[in-house]
Structures are given as C-alpha cells and as structure tokens.
Chains A and B, each alone.
Chain A
Amino acid sequence: MIVRNLHKWIKTDRKGKRYSGYGEILSKLLKRAVKENIPAVLLMDKIREGAAKRIPPQRLITAVKNELTRLKTAKAIVYRQNIKPENEDQYANRLKHISILLLGGIKDKTITGLFNLMAETKRTADDILAACDVLVEFNSINLLAQDDLYGVGKALLFSRLKASTFSGISSIYLNARAKRIKTEDILTIIKNTLTNGGGIIQLDQEISNRGRHR
C-alpha cells in the first residue's frame, strides 16, 4: 500500500516527479522498513520533507537510509526497555521521537542509560524523553560528551522538577554560556543544584553571581 502510494506520488505530484528515476530504490527502503516492523509512513514523511526542501535525489536516498538506521535503533530501544505503546500511532510517534534524539547527537547508550533509571526515579517514558529533549538542546548549543549529557539527564530525572518544566534548563545553559561561564562549571552547577532539590530559581541564583564581563 505505502509503496503504491510512493509510486503514485512520484508520478502525479509536482515535487515527487523530481525523483522519478529513484522510485525503485526508495520503495526498497520502504519495504525494508515494513519488514523490520517499522511504520513505513515515517520514511514516507522523510521523503516528502526532503522533496519539499528540494533535496537532490542522491542526498535524499542517503537521508532516508540514515533515517531507517535511526528508526531501527529506536525500535531496539523501545523493545529492550519494554516501552512500546499499544496504539500504532503512538508507537510511530515514539520511534520518531527517539530518532530525533539520535539525530540530535544523543547516543543509544545515553538514551538507554536514562531509560534504565525509570523505576528508580519513578518517571514515565515520556518524562525520560522530555529529559532527552533537553540534552538535544544542550547539544545544539555546543557539542557535549555523552557522559556529560547522561549526567545532566540523570540530574533532571532525580530532581523535583516536573517533566513539563525541563525545557527551561536549556535556556539557563545558554544564558550561562553567554556570561562566559566555563562549560564544565555550568554542568556541575546544574547537576549539584538539581540534585539538592533546587530548580530554576536556584540555578538562576548560582549563575547570576558568576558571569564575568557581562
């Protein structure tokens, strides 16, 4: 069905026609996803996204292959951690979410390590993913080692903060960097403050007296 949709899209859609010579390769990738029990619609979304950005065919194929690799890793994490939702849409969303984390530079072992803390921290799978989202934001500000990312994620999960408020921590990290506080120091401040039961107020207090020059 999804393969048929792909061919139809390539034939009829103005953006799809650009990839008319590559239908077979793309359909093979979709079939492989179906065989792996990965919702092929996720790859189809990637193809449409690439077409909208007018990405050249060869680059699109590489991007779809990479996405398939990430989705396979995401599926392995979901099954290994026993966090597969019953609903198929939710399952697809979860795979897509983890794939975005992997794309954002969070490695399999870091995500798995944080999921391993689920029982101990009494957090849900969505909470773990919210903590991982913050790590992606940290990585978008500057690349960090996986151990550092894991340390921040762990501190978030053990903190008193609700998962819905995790995202503010990435802005604090950015602000601290703009104040020229050293990366290592910021990470230690975040970890120690959260571990001590503090939140955004206490982080703000810690950072406000350190920034030099500004």
Chain B
Amino acid sequence: MIFNSCRRYRKSFYLSIIILLLISFPLFSEFSFDAGTQVISAIPRYDLSGSNIWLEMSWADSYYFSESLSYFIDSALRTGYTPLMQNFEGIATCNNYLSFRKNSFLARLGISGYYDLTIGSDYTSPVWQINTDVFISYGNYQFSVYINPGLSLLQNELNRTLNFNLQAGAVYALFGQILIKPGISAEIPAEQTNGEVPGISPFLNLSWYTGIPLTLKSKINYRVNFPADQNNFVLTWIPEATLLLRRGITATVRSKAEYKTYQTSTLSDGSTAYLYDPAFKLSPELLSDFSLTDTITLHAKATLGWTHYYNTETDDITAGLSLDIEIEF
C-alpha cells in the first residue's frame, strides 16, 4: 500500500518536471520543437507494440568566446506515447562540449548524459548515464592524430556500471577530399555486473567529401571481446551516402551489416551465461529531409531490419517508418 503510494508520487513528480520543462524550453533562444510518429512492425506478423507518437523539445546553442574557444550545448526532452497510451516514455539528454582550437591543436572536453524514465501502468524505471571524455588532436590540414579517453557511468534498475573507454587514431586527407581514418578503441568495464565485457576494436573509417553535394562514408569495425578466443568477435560495416536531391531536399542512404558470434558473461556465482547468439544483422535505412521553409523541416525515415540467428536458423524481419516535423524558433 505504502509502496503503491510512493510510486504514485514518483509518477506525479516526473510528470511535473516534464511539464515544467516543456513550458520553459521555448524561453531559450535556439529552441526547436519536433513532433513525429514512428511505426514499426514485425514481418510477416503484424505487431505495432514498438510504435509510438512522440514530442521533442530541444535546445542547441553555441558560444564562441573567441576564434579558439567555444562551447556547445545540446539538450532535449523527448516524450513518447505507445498505442492505447499504456506507456509513457521520457528521455532527457544533455550534451556539453568545451573546445579549444589553436592552429594544429584541438582539445575538447565533453560531458553528456541522459535520464530515461518510462512510466507504465505498473512500473516506473529510471535509468541514467553520464559520459565524460577528452578529445585531444594534433596535426595540420593534411594529417592529424588524436586520442580520446573517456568514462561512462550507467545506472540501470539493478546495477551501476563504470566503463573506461579509450580511442586513438590518425586521419589523413587525400586529394583534399578523402579522409582515411584508421584507429583502435578499447572498452574496459570496471565491473561486469551488467554483462559488459572488455573489448578491443580496430577500425577503419573513410569519408569522401566529393566536390559536388555528395558525401560517401564507410565504417568498418572489428571488435574482439575478452577473454579472447577465435570465435568471439563482432564485425560491423556501415556504408553511407548523403546527397542533395534538389534545393532543400537531402537524402541519406545507410546500411549496417553486422556479424557477431556469441557473447558470454561471467555471473556472480562464477557460472557463464550467453548474452547473445551468433547472428548476422542487416539494417538499411533511407533518411530524407525536406526543408519546407527556413524554419520548418519534414524528416522521413524508412528502415528495414533482418536478423538471422545461426543457432536456431531463424530470421527476424522488421520494417519501420517514421515521420516528424521540426520547427526551429
């Protein structure tokens, strides 16, 4: 009884905060409002439980204290409503970056976080995460090296996890248009309570900023999970093309292909559990932006997802379509 009462108060508290934020957001100068709907269904089954309508208030602004020192903030509050209004989803995010660039040197401090609360008919489950990282780069307009250490702290319903991340790499500009970006990243969880395992990922990213309004990108990432053996890895490839169809209309075609073997985790009692099975996943996306006026943009996104599980020889196919209108103030 007392527990139910507390839960009701918590729900009211969260809703009050959200309403307060919704009211106060327009007071900021670089405010934008976004309203949209997302329809996702399994194929051939018809299941719209993952679909929702949503509203988002966001505020992004940059402050240039000098030509070298700048600060960028991007915060948003997104609320989603599932069919029949059974669940209320809310995510608040805030990203802060303080950059110092002088000639060949760039140092950027980033602090970001999100707070996720979902209020359903029978539960309230806040999850929050805070990330902080430092990006240090040195180089000229043709070659640059960087290092990017970071920490992330995640609180879910049961556990709190601290992760240490480190990324290092180089960027080489070819013909002034093509960027070749080899690098390596490592992820080391302080504890493995939530199934996180240490991993190391060499990667090779390419960006081609062609001379016409067309950008081509490719990201290849090979993650080896620890303890390493020959069958514990994730291979990911993401090709992407962004082009201008006509003034005010852009389109991005992107596809993610991922092959992963199994992933195990050592539980507190010393036993080993499988977190996921070997699978191949392919998820192409088509994103389009239509600038209706200087301040109003229609965004459309069509997605397709196919996952093949090798152990069970089963397939999951989903299709999704989302539409939203963004209004900048």
Confirm or deny: B67 has a beta carbon within 8 angstroms of a beta carbon on chain A.
yes
Asked if A167 and B106 sit within 8 Å, CB to CB, the answer is: no
Cβ of B291: which chain A residues have Cβ within 8 Å of it?
A: 142
Q: How far is the CA of A159 from the CA of B108 in the complex (A)?
A: 22
Using CB atoms, name the residue of chain B closest to A139.
B247
**How many residues of A sit at the interface, in one of the four size bands?**
35 or more
Asked if A171 and B211 sit within 8 Å, CB to CB, the answer is: yes
Cβ of A168: which chain B residues have Cβ within 8 Å of it?
A: 176-177, 209-211
Confirm or deny: B40 has a beta carbon within 8 angstroms of a beta carbon on chain A.
no
Asked if B74 and A210 sit within 8 Å, CB to CB, the answer is: yes
Which residues of chain A (146-168) have a CB below 8 Å from chain B? 159-162, 164-165, 167-168
Asked if B60 and A212 sit within 8 Å, CB to CB, the answer is: yes
Cβ of A199: which chain B residues have Cβ within 8 Å of it?
A: 140-142, 173, 176
Q: How far is the CA of A168 from the CA of B142 in the complex (A)?
A: 13
Specify the main secondary structure of chain A where it touches its partner.
Answer: helix
Q: How far is the CA of A204 from the CA of B106 in the complex (A)?
A: 13
Q: How far is the CA of A74 from the CA of B289 in the complex (A)?
A: 35
Specify the main secondary structure of chain B where it touches its partner.
Answer: strand
Number of interface residues of B (CB under 8 A): 55
B99-132 interface mask toward A, CB cutoff 8 Å, 1 = contact, 0 = none?
A: 1011110101010000000000000000000000
Cβ of A212: which chain B residues have Cβ within 8 Å of it?
A: 58, 60, 74, 76
B22: shortest Cβ distance to chain A, in Å?
18
Q: A161-B141, A182-B30 are in contact. Are A202 and B101 (CB under 8 A)?
A: yes
Confirm or deny: B252 has a beta carbon within 8 angstroms of a beta carbon on chain A.
yes
Q: How far is the CA of A135 from the CA of B250 in the complex (A)?
A: 18
Which residue numbers of A lie inside 8 Å of B, CB to CB? 137, 140-143, 159-162, 164-165, 167-175, 177-178, 180, 182, 185, 188, 192-193, 195-202, 204-206, 209-210, 212, 214
Which residue numbers of B lie inside 8 Å of A, CB to CB? 30, 58, 60, 62, 64, 67-68, 70, 72, 74, 76, 97, 99, 101-104, 106, 108, 110, 135, 137, 139-144, 146, 171, 173, 175-177, 179, 207, 209-215, 242-244, 247-248, 250, 252, 287, 289, 291, 326, 328
